[in-house]
């Protein structure tokens, strides 16, 4: 808005302004007038007569000019404010409309709490009706007939049901699996589940599916992006308004963890869905996260072609990183639904542990969580993962940052692990001859697969050992950067492991180095003589290498000392690294046993007792040094050994003799690692 600098001036004022018309500073004075008016407007937008007269004298303008300027300025400001408000309201309206659409679509997608999925066709409806009619007739006859006739009637009905099931497996629910779960975490006999309880489970699963689909489809403000690390977490206030529910735990230490992440994996969606619905494949797919998994009962088998409507009752134990991170036990329902062509949603939701279970006091509760799997081109899938749990456990100080930032058990870890394992599966299925050699002989495809399966079992055994049930703690004198030593003793009778008493020992410590630096140190075979007691001070070299991923650090190696040992012992080793951490696992294997695997024979009976290292970032926020450059935090290193000890006369004698030995071993190894990494000043 321009002002007429001399439009209404009179007397000396007009002459003063007119005398400046030819002056180069004339327009500068006009700018000064506007600046002065702007400043006054901020203070008072409606000046009275006295204020206008004062401004007139100060600026050399007529009161009428000042009056009109303020009127125009108020109109302009009001228009700008209205425009800004309209923009904000328009965005809010679009967001609310989108959320309403997403919620309506999610509600429509859940059609039936029992079977889920899209509506059945007429043929499927007729088959379902026939099944119900046959079952009803059978029950009526069973109630009427003498016991001698019931068996023959049951065989007729059973054969008819079998035929119906072969025609459409989505209609018939699979019979219960009478599993005897004898693991310490779930030591109870599964009783037959009453029909009323099964109906309740189906309702719970359907409700959880509805909630999870909504969580996938609704964005901000329900999901909040962290400014610190870019990870997504749920806005608790908005979540509680949309999905109100009571907290599972009432203690002050209880907390809720939520996270969301997505990524593309190299496996088609239908295959991935089948793997998720098979507890054995599920456990093998996530060996560094899932230590135990069991399908307790198949409540609904789902449709034959797409598994939509499959409902499972499962048990799972999760554990990662270190004995300092407590395992998490879940007794839960897993429900699969195909929400559209090529897109599946699998939801997990906790269910109460059965009465009489030793795990009925679980400190972990899974709220509706799971993944959306969408088929894309080239045999790949886009997987979006949501983790949402309530836990009642205090995190150890070394791993508190990782857990509180939803890194330890968060959605990102599931996605990263799934990507890496899909790469490993690709390498496992490659049929062409590899370039790796063993004893001068090129390993065949069958031999490569057998070695990879043996190494997979080695990694699984190592990760399962880290939970160290019934462990004994031996604290260090200083606990600033070290967690102390954990020791556990178990009697091994399992196939694929040495039989006898096995001592497991582990410790975790903080190092002021990036995790990739620590991983590279262990990967370099020239450094092995600095820390590996099994090298006996002799250098070792790699004689075979099988890639398990794109990164050169993701591989399986066979290591041999430069000076051959009398018993021809070799070292089977697997390492991997991903954005969240690294693993380095190894185990001594004698030459004849390894020859069995290399020749392509079954390696499941080869005894193997692994040790190794787990490396991760410390989860701390980046800091800025004196130079102004940002520096990442340090890393957390877990060192874990397993040793087979001779059977003593008493367990007390074993504890006194063996624990002292392994404690000295791990303390010595940790000290050697610190010296090699120039971190010996850490206590």
Q: Give the model's confidence band at 164: pLDDT under 50 very low, under 70 low, under 90 confident, else very high.
A: very low
Q: How far is CA 529 from CA 484, 535, 586, in A?
A: 25, 6, 14
Token couple for 313 = 């009752």
pLDDT of 14: 40
Q: What percent of the chain has pLDDT over 90?
A: 33
Is 50 exceeded by the pLDDT of residue 102?
A: yes
Is 90 exceeded by the pLDDT of residue 394?
A: no
Domain positions in the chain are: 37-73, 195-427, 432-474+483-621+632-677
**Which residue pairs, CB below 8 angstroms and at least 24 apart, start in 35-39?**
37/3, 37/66, 37/69, 37/70, 37/73
Is 80 exceeded by the pLDDT of residue 166?
A: no
3-class SS of residue 118: coil
Is 60 exceeded by the pLDDT of residue 180?
A: no
- Which of the pair, 171 or 337, is modelled with greater confidence? 337
- Which of the pair, 179 or 447, is modelled with greater confidence? 447
pLDDT of 18: 42
pLDDT of 657: 67
Q: DSSP per residue over 27-68, as a string?
A: HHHHHHHHHHHHHHHHH-SS--HHHHHHHHHHHT--HHHHHH
Is 80 exceeded by the pLDDT of residue 198?
A: yes
Average pLDDT over the chain, rounded to an integer:
78
Is 50 exceeded by the pLDDT of residue 229?
A: yes
CA distance 431 to 158: 44
Q: Give the model's confidence band at 127: pLDDT under 50 very low, under 70 low, under 90 confident, else very high.
A: low
| 660 Cβ neighbours under 8 A, 6+ residues apart | none
Is 60 exceeded by the pLDDT of residue 532?
A: yes
pLDDT of 148: 45
Q: Give the model's confidence band at 569: pLDDT under 50 very low, under 70 low, under 90 confident, else very high.
A: confident
3-class SS of residue 351: coil
Token couple for 529 = 């003589």
Is 60 exceeded by the pLDDT of residue 631?
A: no
Q: Give the model's confidence band at 259: pLDDT under 50 very low, under 70 low, under 90 confident, else very high.
A: very high
Q: What value does the mean pLDDT take over residues 623-652?
A: 65
Beta strands in 549-591 (DSSP E): 555-561, 569-578, 581-590
Q: How far is CA 459 from CA 19, 290, 556, 571, in A?
A: 92, 12, 11, 14
pLDDT of 145: 59
pLDDT of 116: 46
**Fold match, 195-427 / 432-474+483-621+632-677:** yes
Do the bridges between strand 581-590 and strand 255-265 make them parallel or antiparallel, or are there none, so unpaired? unpaired
Is 50 exceeded by the pLDDT of residue 183?
A: no
Q: Give the model's confidence band at 474: pLDDT under 50 very low, under 70 low, under 90 confident, else very high.
A: low
Main-chain dihedrals φ then ψ at residue 606, nearest 5 degrees: -75, 125
Is 50 exceeded by the pLDDT of residue 17?
A: no
- Are 638 and 319 within 8 A, CB to CB? no
Q: What value does the mean pLDDT take over residues 550-557?
A: 92
Q: Which of 304, 280, 303, 638 is nearest to 456 (CA)?
A: 280
pLDDT of 193: 81
Q: What value does the mean pLDDT take over residues 479-502?
A: 76
Main-chain dihedrals φ then ψ at residue 136, nearest 5 degrees: -65, -45
Q: Give the model's confidence band at 535: pLDDT under 50 very low, under 70 low, under 90 confident, else very high.
A: confident
pLDDT of 662: 79
- Are 527 and 521 within 8 A, CB to CB? yes
Is 80 exceeded by the pLDDT of residue 608?
A: yes
Is 60 exceeded by the pLDDT of residue 632?
A: no
Q: Give the model's confidence band at 63: pLDDT under 50 very low, under 70 low, under 90 confident, else very high.
A: confident
Is 60 exceeded by the pLDDT of residue 8?
A: no
Q: Give the model's confidence band at 440: pLDDT under 50 very low, under 70 low, under 90 confident, else very high.
A: low
Q: What value does the mean pLDDT take over residues 190-207?
A: 86
Token couple for 578 = 């991903």
Q: Which of 422, 414, 102, 405 is nearest to 262 (CA)?
A: 414
Q: Give the model's confidence band at 501: pLDDT under 50 very low, under 70 low, under 90 confident, else very high.
A: confident
pLDDT of 110: 52
Over residues 136-148, the pLDDT tens digits come to: 666 666 666 554 4
195-427 homologous superfamily: START domain (3.30.530.20)
Is 60 exceeded by the pLDDT of residue 646?
A: yes
- Give, in words, the CATH class of 432-474+483-621+632-677: alpha beta
Q: Which of 106-110, 373-377, 567-571, 649-653 is predicted with the least confidence, judged by mean pLDDT? A: 649-653
Q: What value does the mean pLDDT take over residues 459-486?
A: 69
Is 70 exceeded by the pLDDT of residue 477?
A: no
Q: What value does the mean pLDDT take over residues 369-398?
A: 90
Mind spelling out the 3-state secondary structure of 138-149? Answer: HHHHHHHCCHHH
How many CB atoms are located within 10 Å of the residue 590 CB? Answer: 14
> Taking every pair of C-alpha atoms in the chain, what is the biggest distance, in angstroms?
128
Unique residue bearing structure tokens 């020859």: 595
List, in sequence order, the alpha helices (H) in 468-553. 515-523
- Which of the pair, 572 or 116, is modelled with greater confidence? 572
pLDDT of 167: 31
Q: Which of 290-299, 506-515, 637-646 is predicted with the least confidence, judged by mean pLDDT? A: 637-646
Is 60 exceeded by the pLDDT of residue 191?
A: yes
The secondary element (H helix, E strand) that includes residue 429 is helix 411-429
Q: Give the model's confidence band at 33: pLDDT under 50 very low, under 70 low, under 90 confident, else very high.
A: confident
Q: What value does the mean pLDDT take over residues 342-369?
A: 80
Q: Which of 17-21, 154-158, 413-417 is predicted with the least confidence, judged by mean pLDDT? A: 154-158
| 176 Cβ neighbours under 8 A, 6+ residues apart | 192, 193, 297, 298
Is 70 exceeded by the pLDDT of residue 326?
A: yes
- Are 456 and 572 within 8 A, CB to CB? no
Q: Give the model's confidence band at 653: pLDDT under 50 very low, under 70 low, under 90 confident, else very high.
A: low
- Which of the pair, 632 or 194, is modelled with greater confidence? 194
pLDDT of 568: 74
Is 80 exceeded by the pLDDT of residue 434?
A: no
Q: What value does the mean pLDDT take over residues 249-276?
A: 90
Task: Give the orientation angle of helix 63-109 with respect to helix 49-59, to 10 degrees.
Answer: 110
pLDDT of 93: 83
Is 90 exceeded by the pLDDT of residue 163?
A: no
Q: Give the model's confidence band at 21: pLDDT under 50 very low, under 70 low, under 90 confident, else very high.
A: very low
């Amino acid at each position: 808005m321009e002002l007429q600098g001399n439009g209404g001036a009179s007397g000396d004022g007009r002459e003063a302004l007119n005398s400046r018309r030819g002056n180069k500073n004339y327009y500068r004075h006009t700018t000064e007038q506007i600046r002065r008016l702007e400043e006054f407007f901020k203070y008072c937008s409606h000046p009275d007569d006295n204020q206008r007269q004062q401004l007139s004298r100060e600026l050399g303008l007529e009161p009428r000019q000042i009056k009109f300027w303020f009127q125009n300025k108020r109109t302009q400001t009001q228009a700008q404010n209205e425009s800004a408000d309209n923009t904000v309201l328009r965005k809010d309206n679009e967001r609310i409309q989108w959320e309403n659409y997403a919620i309506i679509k999610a509600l429509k997608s859940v059609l039936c709490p029992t079977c889920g999925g899209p509506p059945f066709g007429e043929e499927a409806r007729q088959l379902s009706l026939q099944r119900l009619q046959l079952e009803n007739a059978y029950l009526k006859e069973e109630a009427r007939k003498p016991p001698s006739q019931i068996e023959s009637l049951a065989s007729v009905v059973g054969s008819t049901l079998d035929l119906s099931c072969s025609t459409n497996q989505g209609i018939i629910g699979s019979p219960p699996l009478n599993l005897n779960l004898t693991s310490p975490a779930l030591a109870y006999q599964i009783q037959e589940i009453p029909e009323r309880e099964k109906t309740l489970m189906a309702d719970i699963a359907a409700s959880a599916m509805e909630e999870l689909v909504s969580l996938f489809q609704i964005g901000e403000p329900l999901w909040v992006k962290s400014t610190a690390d870019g990870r997504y977490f749920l806005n608790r206030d908005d979540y509680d308004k949309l999905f109100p529910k009571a907290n599972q735990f009432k203690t002050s230490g209880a907390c809720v963890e939520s996270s969301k992440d997505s990524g593309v994996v190299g496996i088609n969606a239908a295959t991935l869905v089948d793997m998720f619905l098979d507890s054995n494949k599920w456990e093998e797919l996530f060996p560094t996260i899932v230590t135990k998994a069991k399908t307790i009962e198949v409540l609904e088998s789902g449709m034959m072609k797409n598994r939509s409507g499959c409902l499972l009752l499962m048990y799972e134990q999760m554990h990662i990183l270190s004995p300092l991170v407590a395992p998490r036990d879940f007794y839960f329902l897993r429900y699969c639904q195909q929400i559209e062509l090529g897109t599946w949603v699998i939801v997990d939701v906790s269910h109460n542990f059965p009465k009489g279970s030793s795990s009925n006091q679980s400190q972990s509760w899974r709220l509706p969580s799971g993944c959306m799997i969408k088929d894309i081109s080239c045999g790949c899938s886009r997987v979006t993962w949501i983790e949402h749990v309530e836990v009642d456990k205090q995190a150890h100080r070394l791993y508190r940052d990782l857990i509180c930032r939803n890194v330890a058990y968060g959605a990102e870890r599931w996605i990263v692990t799934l990507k890496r394992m899909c790469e490993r599966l690709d390498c496992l299925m490659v049929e062409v001859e590899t370039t790796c050699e063993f004893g001068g002989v090129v390993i065949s495809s069958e031999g490569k697969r057998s070695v990879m399966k043996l190494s997979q079992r080695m990694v699984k055994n190592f990760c399962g050992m880290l939970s160290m049930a019934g462990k004994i703690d031996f604290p260090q004198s200083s606990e600033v950067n070290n967690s102390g030593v954990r020791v556990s003793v178990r009697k091994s009778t399992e196939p694929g492991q040495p039989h006898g008493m096995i001592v497991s020992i582990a410790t975790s410590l903080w190092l002021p180095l990036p995790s990739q630096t620590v991983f590279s140190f262990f990967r370099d075979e020239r450094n092995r003589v600095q820390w590996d007691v099994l090298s006996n001070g002799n250098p070792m070299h790699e004689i075979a290498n099988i890639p398990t991923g794109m990164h050169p650090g993701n591989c399986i190696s066979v290591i041999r000392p430069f000076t051959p040992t009398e018993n021809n012992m070799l070292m089977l080793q697997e390492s991997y690294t991903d954005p969240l951490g690294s693993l380095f696992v190894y185990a001594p294997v004698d030459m004849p046993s390894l020859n069995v695997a290399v020749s392509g024979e079954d390696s499941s009976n080869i005894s193997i007792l692994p040790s190794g290292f787990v490396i991760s970032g410390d989860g701390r926020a980046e800091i800025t040094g004196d130079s102004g450059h940002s520096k990442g935090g340090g890393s957390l290193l877990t060192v874990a050994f397993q040793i087979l000890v001779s059977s003593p006369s008493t367990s007390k004698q074993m504890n006194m003799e063996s624990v002292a030995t392994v404690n000295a071993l791990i303390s010595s190894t940790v000290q050697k690692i610190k010296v090699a990494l120039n971190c010996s000043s850490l206590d």
